[in-house]
Structure 1
């Protein structure tokens, strides 16, 4: 049995897992952002109310990067936890084993074990939500490299400076990570909005651009064409390096089947391996993949 949490900047969701596929929701509480004692208290309150035996392990999916060498976490949107050795500190405070992993890694783990990646040895989970992220799972285990940054294909100055058919020049937009020209600046929702404004001088939310594209709007179609071109090359390179045989896509754009199908077609044109079947696919676990991934993490790590 595992008490699993999915922690973001606005809320903490929790469930009691008897297996990775058998989760009982434990509700949602606000995330204390500036008071670590309150943060610990919120987790303790949910864990104590779960009705699990004393000492039941806790597994956490969180929007932050965990350094496997030090257990320290970088989580800018939860300042009270930023820079702490979150797992060990929570374990000491709560008197339970605590396992912590990045939310994109937990998404990839959930899809690898219970979702679209089931039966595949190497899975790359790609997040196309507000920004671009990802995680690598091999043989049912998260690959967590130096610094905790494995799978972060959204960052690094690798985005093309021209894209689309016909090609159009794309600026090297500054990225929140401090670099310029990252895939994160032109991928996913905010990237779509940035590209549409660059192409047509119009500010629209990504949902409106997608709806216009689906309705046959030529300007929205142009934006989608440019964005797919910008995403497909870096993702193909990732797959050539990692060797994943399936890429479940999560986040808001992962729910747009037509978008994922276009990305899949372009990626399969650019990888070394030739495939007739889809490679880049919508995620299958649309309900609480963070909690499912945390549960799998807990059962795997607790048995180690």
Structure 2
């Protein structure tokens, strides 16, 4: 069997879709992004197919490159239907057979956060670590758990689906927070408070100002604005409590942050101290590191999934 020239990886997020083409050594040779059509399933499929066909045309590689796709949420193991809080048009629909029919190539689906974690465990910030927890803080919040450079996926592929753990009720009471609805159908899920979207919701709750980005809030915080400092203080405590539960559940050797909020410098200087009060005595906080591959890690991890699957199929 001829070894493909490239392996494609797609990170399908609630804000953008990113495609990377990696060579056999997982070096990124091509990258393209488009906005995610979150409300129109047919537009979503067209966007995915267009990205892949554009890469094919730019790279003129033969045979067609195997494709890995990191998708948020959970895929029903019986029906193949997606449950995707951040991309509502995908919920209840199948993606894999539609893309296989149109693209005529090997395609592997994985969870987007798990792909990010897998990437950082292979040549990234957690390379060589016995275990790591790759945690996404973007439009939503999720994670992947890797042991000895292999994903721990669980029975339904939901291992590390940390963003839909419930927020500690005592923290809701302490800060007089509302029971925010989550697109998954429940209320008070962690991602509704600690993600980039959650940070904006906290600001709207405390200060009554909506339609402000996390980046703008961060600028105000660094400038010493009192209102922004309060929001970031609450966010840091909520996130610290959430990470303490990760330590109790998984006891990882390293935690690597990804997503838009991973670009906030204070998380690497202040977050560990916010975790400690929520741990039982005797447990330490593992190192909390920025990603080696930035926000391209999820797509690179999806390409790694495609490469691993391709190798498994070789005679």
8 Å CA contact 2:49–2:99 kept in 1: the answer is no
8 Å CA contact 1:153–1:235 kept in 2: the answer is no
1:265 paired with 2:273, answer yes
Q: Distance in 2 between matches of 1:113 and 1:120?
A: 10
The equivalent residue for 1:87 is 96
What secondary structure sits across from 1:162 in the alignment? helix
Which of the numbers 177, 180, 187 marks the counterpart of 1:173?
A: 180
The equivalent residue for 1:143 is 152
1:5 paired with 2:10, answer yes
8 Å CA contact 2:172–2:178 kept in 1: the answer is no
1:193 paired with 2:171, answer no
- In structure 2, relative to structure 1, the CA distance for the partners of 1:78 and 1:22 (3 Å cut) is farther
The equivalent residue for 2:20 is 15
Describe the superposition over 1:232-276 as per-residue Cα deviations: whole angstroms up to 9, x where unpaired. Answer: 112211222112111111122110111343222222453456448
Shift in Å at residue 191 of structure 1?
A: 1.8
The equivalent residue for 1:214 is 222
What secondary structure sits across from 2:162 in the alignment? coil
Q: Distance in 1 between matches of 2:187 and 2:88?
A: 25
TM-score (norm 1): 0.83
8 Å CA contact 1:68–1:144 kept in 2: the answer is no
What secondary structure sits across from 2:108 in the alignment? strand
8 Å CA contact 2:56–2:64 kept in 1: the answer is no
Comparing 150-159 with 240-249, greater Cα deviation is found at 150-159
Gaps of 5+ in 1: none
TM-score (norm 2): 0.81
Q: Distance in 1 between matches of 2:137 and 2:179?
A: 19
1:226 paired with 2:215, answer no
Shift in Å at residue 148 of structure 1?
A: 3.3
1:124 paired with 2:129, answer no
The equivalent residue for 2:264 is 256
Shift in Å at residue 70 of structure 1?
A: 4.9
- In structure 2, relative to structure 1, the CA distance for the partners of 1:163 and 1:289 (3 Å cut) is same
What secondary structure sits across from 2:163 in the alignment? coil
